[in-house]
Amino acid sequence: MENCIFCKLANGEIPTNTVYEDENYRVIMDANPANIGHSLVLPKKHGKDIFELDSETVAGAHALAKKVAEAAKKALDADGINILQNNGESAGQTVMHFHIHVIPRFKNDWPSMPMHQSGATDEETKAACAKIGEFMK
Ligand code: AMP
Ligand code: ZN
């Protein structure tokens, strides 16, 4: 994929701080870390987001995120780890090449990640549950 910065970083066309590399993935340090040790798991194959990428590549990226989370926790003596993966501008994605954030967390570093509360009613939740369930068949 031409002009994709994460394709260039993942495939070594642009040098960057690399935590780990294999045939299919590269784990790099985020250029604007939310905390010390904030890394990104990048597939070498281009796919804009979870919808464009095949399940096998997505699953491999998540397995690798677990391995990086364990390594970062030990290496930096982190108290916890946030794993984030944004899909689409409305979800906060800014770089349109699938990636998983692995963010070490330390006691009292900042208030825990806020989860917006939509105020959906039980009825709305039940309806959404049924609708999503239909598409799982
Ligand atoms: P997202 O909002 O999930 O798309 O996250 C994109 C992330 O990529 C942000 O945390 C950026 O700091 C990071 N980022 C953008 N450009 C680079 C780069 N050249 N090298 C490393 N990280 C980058
Ligand atoms: Zn790409």
What pLDDT digit, counting tens, does each position of 100-132 carry? 999 999 999 988 767 888 999 999 999 999 999
Which residues are the active-site residues?
Answer: 99
CA 113-116-118 angle, 5° bins: 160
Residue 21 lies in a domain: yes
**Cβ–Cβ < 8 Å for 35, 80:** no
Instruction: Check residue 110 and give its pLDDT.
Output: 86
- Quick check: CB of 92 below 6 Å from ligand 1? yes
What pLDDT digit, counting tens, does each position of 28-47 carry? 999 999 999 999 999 999 99
CA of 64 to the centre of ligand 1 (A): 18
Whole-angstrom distance, CA of residue 52 vs CA of residue 134: 21
Q: Which atom belonging to ligand 1 lies closest to the Cα atom of 86?
A: 3
Residue 134 lies in a domain: no
Residue 45 lies in a domain: yes
CA of 38 to the centre of ligand 2 (A): 20
- Note down the domain range covering 46: 5-110
Q: Could you identify the residue written with the tokens 């068949």? A: 137
Q: Which atom belonging to ligand 1 lies closest to the Cα atom of 94?
A: 4
Residue 57 lies in a domain: yes
Number of independent structural domains in the chain: 1
Instruction: Check residue 113 and give its pLDDT.
Output: 67
Q: Provide mean pLDDT across the span 66-74.
A: 98
Q: Could you identify the residue written with the tokens 């070490």? A: 104
Instruction: CATH number of the domain at 81, please.
Output: 3.30.428.10
* CA quadruple 33, 73, 62, 83: dihedral sign: negative
Instruction: Check residue 131 and give its pLDDT.
Output: 97
Put simply, whether the predicted model's pTM sits higher than 0.75 gets the answer yes
Residue 119 lies in a domain: no
